[in-house]
Each structure stands twice: as C-alpha cells, then as structure tokens.
Amino acid sequence: MSSIAAGGLRQRPGLLLGAFALGCSAMLGMGDLATHEEIRLRQAEDLRNALDQTLSAVPHDNNPAADTVAVEDEGRAVTVYRARLAGEVRGVAFNWVSEAGYGGPITLTVGIGRDGRIASVRVLSHSETPGLGDKIDVRKSDWIRGFDGRGLDTGTRWAVRKDGGEFDQFAGATITPRAVVGAVHASLKFFAGNRARLLAVPAGPGGDAAATRSETPS
Amino acid sequence: MSEVRRVVRDGLWDNNVVFAQMLGMCPTLATTGSATNGLGMGLATTVVLVSSGVLVSLFRNVIAREVRIAIYVLLMSTVVTLVDMAMNAWLHELHKVLGLFIPLIVVNCAIMGRAEAFASKRAPGMAALDGLMMGIGFTLALMVLGGVREAIGQGTLFADASMLLGQHFAFLELRLEGYRGVLLMILPPGGFLALGFLVAARQRMLARARARSLGASAGAGITAGT
C-alpha cells in the first residue's frame, strides 16, 4: 500500500515536493510546540540574570523583569525595567543598541540609579574582533566597570582619551570603546529626558498597592 | 579495505571536507578566529550532517530525481531549525555560545554535498557513519585552522574553552605571556593565509607519502614524481 503510494508520488514530483513540505512543516510545528514553553522560561531566566547584574547596586524588593514601562525614543520603543524599594522607583535598567560598533551593533544593558548615575553597564551581545574589541565584555576585562557611578552631572568627559575624553581606548581598537562610551552617554541623556515618566509610580494595581503601603503608618 | 574503514578514512583525511573537498568555506573562514569557535562550529555541523544524512538515506527510494535538490534543502533547513530550537530549550548555556553558528550551517554546502554524493545512495547506518566522520573531520580541520590563527594572532590557544565545554576544560586554555600578536591573522585575510599554508602542508605530506609508496613498490629506489 505505502509502496504503491510512494511509487505514485515518484511519478508526480510536484505532489512529492508538496508532501515533503507538509511533512517538514508538521515537524517544525511539533518542534515548536515541544520547545516553545521551555525557551520562554530560559529567556525569562536570562533577562532576570541580566537585570540582577545591572541592578545589583540598586536596593530593590520587587521583580524588575515584571515591572516595565515602554518609552518611545526617536522612533524606537525602549522597554525599561524598574527596580523599586517600598514602591519608590530606585533605579531602572534597559537595553541600548549602538550601531557604531566595528563588527556590527553592540547591545548594552544599562542600569541607572534614581540619581541619574550609572549603576552598572554590561554588554549583552556584540560581534567585535576577538582579542581586541571584545575587552568590553566583563568576562574579558574590567574596562566596562569604569562607568559605574558616573552621570551627566559628575563632570565626566564622555569620550575616549584619543578624542579628549577620559575613558581608555584599547591598544589597536578605538572604534569599539568609542561606540560604547557614546552609547552609555546617549542612554544617560535618554534617562534624563524621560526621567519624570520613568520614575513615576503608575496608577496601575501595583502602583496603588505600593502607594497605599507607603502612606499607611505602620 | 572494508567499506567502513574507507568511510572513516575519507571523512578524517583522504576526502576531508575542508582540506580536500574545499567545501563549506563560508563557515570555515568566518568562525575560525579561535580554536574554541572552530570546535563549536564543527560540533554543531556534525549533528546536522548525521541527522540530514539519515533522513536523506531513509527517503532515498521515494525522492524523485527532478525535485531531489529542493527536497534536500527542505530536509536540511528543517533539521537545522529543529536543532536550533532543541538546543535553545534544553542546552541553553551551550546555545548561547553556539547559537550564532547554527544559522551559518545552512550555507555549508558540504551537507548538500554528502546528501547528493553519499547518503542518497546508501543505507541509513552507513549514511550516519559518513555524516559522523565527515563531521569529525570538519571539526578537526576547523580546530587546527582556528588554533593556528589564534596562536599567531593573539598568542592564546583555546581561549574561553570553558565557556563552551564547562569548567572542567579550563585546563585547555593556554596563553603566551608578553606576546602581542599579529592582528592580521584574526581578521578575514588571516583565514585565507592560514588555510592556504595548511592545504600546502597537507599536499606536501601527500606527495611524500606517494613518493615513498611508489619507491617501495618499485623496489628500485626510484623517487618518483619529483
């Protein structure tokens, strides 16, 4: 029976191709069903880890991954994660992409405190030259920690030394650190420009509960 | 020579994907900036070579000649996508490191080459063995190429291997202190240079072996072919 069907299909390549396309689609569909939930969990874990790293210096008692605000910036939507202590927003973290990298876009996760100073910056993904530009990765070098505690009001010259700033470039690689310094500076300006909105306690259910809690004398 | 031995030798040396067939140059040159990256690309490709070989072999009597290429492309892209999803779900740490190589496997014509030249004519077991051996040969070639470029380029060997293989393999990571490296070898031109020299070295070895065996069989001590 199946050999007859197969023999018939051999005579009609179009049908055969269609059958394979159908079979492959079915396999992909099943694969997606089997892995979808697991992948979502793993990605949520990744996000939590990234936020833990960038907001570790900001005291908070909520889950920043679940407390988000979407802010429009020059046509792109930035999802901002907020760290709160007793309802008050103490710091925010968000991803910031620099298109000025040497090997492609560099995605940073930037954590900024309520005071507008950098809490921590980490590189989420990049494709810079191994051994040169990849020193921006905290696993390779401590360079990225140099931003901690700096803000727009700390008198920092936001550029690499070659451009008259105060951040080291790497031997043989100036474009990568220049891109990162520029992106961190831009992310601080973005924070300053949207400060009121980012730090406002929303009128949602979470915000109400938090507000009540802070008003009620305990 | 038994067929199994033939297949093993072909994959590892005689008909090596990189050094003899010269296939899969895009992933080869793009990912061999370091030995660790070469190893990662090689392992991911091996999984796809084995599974696509078995699939093509299973359906070899059904697939009509006219549409075979289209069907191979369908099967291979399905396998690559499934491997990508499965690794993302169940080997997430490894996927974070290898993830970027997986889509590159689709552009590796060695997989199409093995389907057409071998898997479409043999039983699934043999196709699996061929895929495995071609994959191991590819992995070794990429590791050697990556190792040479990394050692000359930045004075390290298997840097960050522990990120790919786990902390137990941290001992693989070597570093030459005080060596500043030759940037060119890490950049794309270095890939072509290193590959050229490695292929030349292999050719020289083959020529010597041929001369030796000819000399031995002739028994008269004629150094042939020089």
ipTM of the complex in this document: 0.76
| Cβ of residue B33 closer than 8 Å to a chain A Cβ | yes
pLDDT digits (tens, 9 = 90+) for A55-106: 988 888 888 888 888 888 887 888 999 999 888 899 999 999 999 988 889 9
- Whether A51 and A64 have beta carbons less than 8 Å apart is answered as yes
Residues 6 or more apart in contact with residue A196 via CB below 8 angstroms: none
| Interhelix angle B68-90/B35-58, nearest 10 degrees | 130
pLDDT band at A217 (very low <50, low <70, confident <90, very high): very low
Band of pLDDT at residue A202, cut at 50, 70 and 90: low
For the stretch B170-198, pLDDT in tens is 788 888 777 777 888 888 899 999 999 99
Please tell me the distance from the alpha carbon of residue A139 to that of residue A126, in angstroms, as a whole number. 13
Tokens linked to B11: 């994959």
Q: Which amino acid is at B81?
A: T
User: What is chain A's percent helix, strand, coil content, to nearest 5?
Assistant: 45, 20, 30
Can you list the alpha helix ranges (DSSP code H) found in B91-187?
92-98, 102-105, 109-117, 124-154, 161-165, 183-186
A155-198 pLDDT, tens per residue? 889 999 999 999 998 877 889 999 999 999 999 999 999 998 88
Contact A181, A150 (CB under 8 A): no
> Between residues A13 and B195, which one has the greater pLDDT?
B195
The percent of residues in chain B predicted with pLDDT above 70, rounded, is 95
Mean pLDDT of the residues in chain B: 86
Interatomic CA distance for residues B129 and B111, integer angstroms:
14
What average pLDDT does this structure show over A32-41?
Answer: 92
pLDDT category, A210, cuts 50, 70, 90? very low
Q: B67 and A16 in contact by Cβ < 8 A?
A: yes
In this structure, which amino acid lies at residue A209? Answer: A
| Smallest Cα distance from B138 to chain A, Å | 22
Calculate mean pLDDT across residues B6-13.
91
- Name residues whose C-beta falls within 8 Å of residue A147's C-beta, 6 or more positions apart in sequence: A118, A120, A121, A184
Indicate if the pLDDT at residue B219 is higher than 60. no
Q: Please compute the mean of the pLDDT values over residues B65-90 and round it to a whole number.
A: 90
- Count residue pairs from A and B with Cβ separation < 8 A: 77
Contact of B90 with chain A, judged by CB distance below 8 Å, is answered with yes
Q: List the single best residue of B31, B32, B78, B185 to mutate versus A (max A Cβ within 10 A).
A: B78
Q: Residue B221: is its pLDDT beyond 80?
A: no
| Residue A202: partners with Cβ closer than 8 Å, 6 or more residues away | A69
Write down the domain spans for chain B.
3-218
Q: Which amino acid is at B131?
A: G
- Taking the C-alpha atoms of residue A111 and residue A99, their distance in angstroms, rounded to an integer, is 20
pLDDT score for A8: 66
Contacts of A102 in chain B (CB under 8 A): none
The C-alpha of A101 sits at a distance from chain B's nearest C-alpha, in angstroms, of: 16
Please name which of A130, A163, A181, A24 lies closest in space to residue B40, comparing C-alpha atoms: A130
